[in-house]
Amino acid sequence: MSASVPQPNLPARTRVAVIGGGPAGLLLALILTRAGIECVVLERRSRDYVLSRIRAGVLEQGTTDLLRMAGAGARMDREGLVHDGFDIAWRGDKLHIDLRSLTGGKTVTVYGQTEVTHDLYDALDEAGVPIVHEAENVAPQDVTGDAPFVSFDTAAGSHRLDCDFVAGCDGFHGVCRQTIPADKLETFERVYPFGWLGILVRKPPIQEELIYANHARGFALCSLRSPQLSRYYIQCRADDDIANWPDARFYDELQARLPPAVAGHLQRGESIEKSIAPLRSFVAEPMHYGRMFLAGDAAHIVPPTGAKGLNLAVSDVHYLSTALIAHYNDHDETLLDAYSETALARVWKAERFSWWFTSMIHRFEDDGSFGQRIQEAEFDFLASSTAAQTALAENYVGLPF
Ligand code: RFL
Ligand code: PHB
């Protein structure tokens, strides 16, 4: 732990020990704190590290509503970009998906996960919630008994945090899910045979709205973080290396995959971030074990195509915080008992949508000519059917929770 990172005064006991300081853990801690329920957040990384991660960019209305309700939405309301629709590019053409008209007025907001995390940290600091950074060897203990606790180390020594509940918000590679015995957990997984190579560049975006492109050379996505900051992705080999992708090659490839009318507007600049993300669908059931509840990527992963990962973490937090508040305020266990089932019902719908959108917009080398024709039929149907566009729009803006 660096000396420059002040650590909070740690209580020996709290009500909810939140493991993981990503969006799920931070938002859960904020909502519970606002409801008078004490929490401590334990995060493995430094705050600077967490705030340097570039991840999701599109927020559903349910997500923006919850951030506002938690008192962390003011900057998002000032700086977030409301998008009424997006484009799908196919055979050199664009199909516009008009989210607002297809969903009776719903939209999405482009506001980076990095900014959401920043705002949550600010709100938690103001509320005086202890967040321990660079917590090592974090381990939930005795979660099936009446007196769970979390053990962990910091530079100051070893600690024990007693609690009523553990919230496992520690992401896909976290410790919480892994402490659940194998015979108590069922997992479902699909790994896709490609990755996304993404760059962030300080240049105005190619167009105002997002464009998802299916091209014979592979998928491409033009997204943004602000009117001056663009986020671009291209489908790449799953085992590719960013060393193979100097900026010029990336831009050439991106341009080749976009309709000519759009490609001409690309403004190239030096990338300020470049990374490859694997694509995976994953669900762990159930989302609890004794007094430990999983939320967000700790329990499920979606490929980024539908922009659902962060939004799903937020809907889990909605269900879990509501259930914990009912437990403490009304001594009502019904929602906690039903948490896993309630959250999973929405998770699986987002899994289905993310899988479907991934399947229709990428090139699958192994699918052969049959797979190719099915994709073509899918696009023709989407272009000609308002019902198909409505189904896409309804899922993209986010199913209710
Ligand atoms: P996070 O954000 O992974 O946060 C988990 C936190 O837990 C910490 N942690 C631990 N803390 C204590 N002890 C341990 N043993 C710990 N192990 C881990 C981690 O340091 C971290 O701070 O999960 P959360 O909160 O559930 O939020 C989920 C979202 O972050 C995630 O769904 C999305 O970012 C997914 N995702 C994307 N989603 C999109 O919708 N669009 C995207 O473009 C997009 N790009 C991405 C992504 C996820 C990525 N990951 C996880 C590798 C790009 C990447 C690279
Ligand atoms: C992003 O801006 O990073 C982004 C946008 C839409 C997606 C995935 C990622 O579907």
Structure tokens of 74? 């003011």
Q: Which residues line ligand 1 (CB under 6 A)?
A: 19-25, 42-45, 50, 55-57, 113, 135, 138, 169-172, 174-175, 277, 296-298, 304, 307-310, 313
**Span 54-76, average pLDDT:** 96
Is the per-residue pLDDT at 4 higher than 50? Answer: no
The answer to whether the CB of 304 is under 6 A from ligand 2 is: yes
CA distance 340 to 316: 9
Over the chain, what is the mean pLDDT?
A: 96
In this structure, of 127-136, 250-259, 366-375, the range with the lowest mean pLDDT score is: 366-375
The answer to whether the CB of 311 is under 6 A from ligand 2 is: no
Tokens 């799920």 sit on residue: 24
CB of 119 closer than 8 Å to CB of 78: no
Q: What is the pLDDT of residue 53?
A: 87
CB of 358 closer than 8 Å to CB of 303: yes
| Cα of 61 from ligand 2 centre, angstroms | 16
| Cα of 79 from ligand 1 centre, angstroms | 23
Q: Which amino acid is at 243?
A: A
- pTM of this structure: 0.96
**Span 51-65, average pLDDT:** 93
Reported as a pLDDT band with limits 50, 70 and 90, residue 3 is very low
- The sign of the CA dihedral 295, 55, 50, 59 is negative
Catalytic (active-site) positions:
83, 212, 304, 308, 396
CA distance 307 to 298: 17
pLDDT above 90 coverage of the chain, percent? 94
| Cα of 103 from ligand 2 centre, angstroms | 20
**Span 145-153, average pLDDT:** 97
Tokens 């180390």 sit on residue: 153
Nearest ligand (C-alpha, residue 221): 2
- Give the C-alpha distances (Å, rounded to integers) separating 277 from 57, 191, 193, 355: 15, 12, 12, 16
Q: What is the pLDDT of residue 8?
A: 66
Domains and CATH numbers, the chain: 16-83+103-189+280-357 (3.50.50.60)
More confident residue, 395 or 52: 395
| Cα of 58 from ligand 2 centre, angstroms | 6
The answer to whether the CB of 389 is under 6 A from ligand 2 is: no
Q: What is the pLDDT of residue 368?
A: 87
Give me the torsion for CA of 51, 54, 55, 57, rounded to 10°: 100
Closest atom of ligand 1 to 223 CA is 43
Q: What is the pLDDT of residue 107?
A: 98
Exposure class string for 65-84: b at 16+ Cβ within 10 A, else e: ebbeebebbeebeeebbebb
Structure tokens of 62? 């349910």
Q: What is the pLDDT of residue 5?
A: 46
Q: What is the pLDDT of residue 7?
A: 63
Is the per-residue pLDDT at 378 higher than 60? Answer: yes
Reported as a pLDDT band with limits 50, 70 and 90, residue 1 is very low
pLDDT tens by residue, 299-317: 999 999 999 999 999 999 9
Is the per-residue pLDDT at 162 higher than 60? Answer: yes
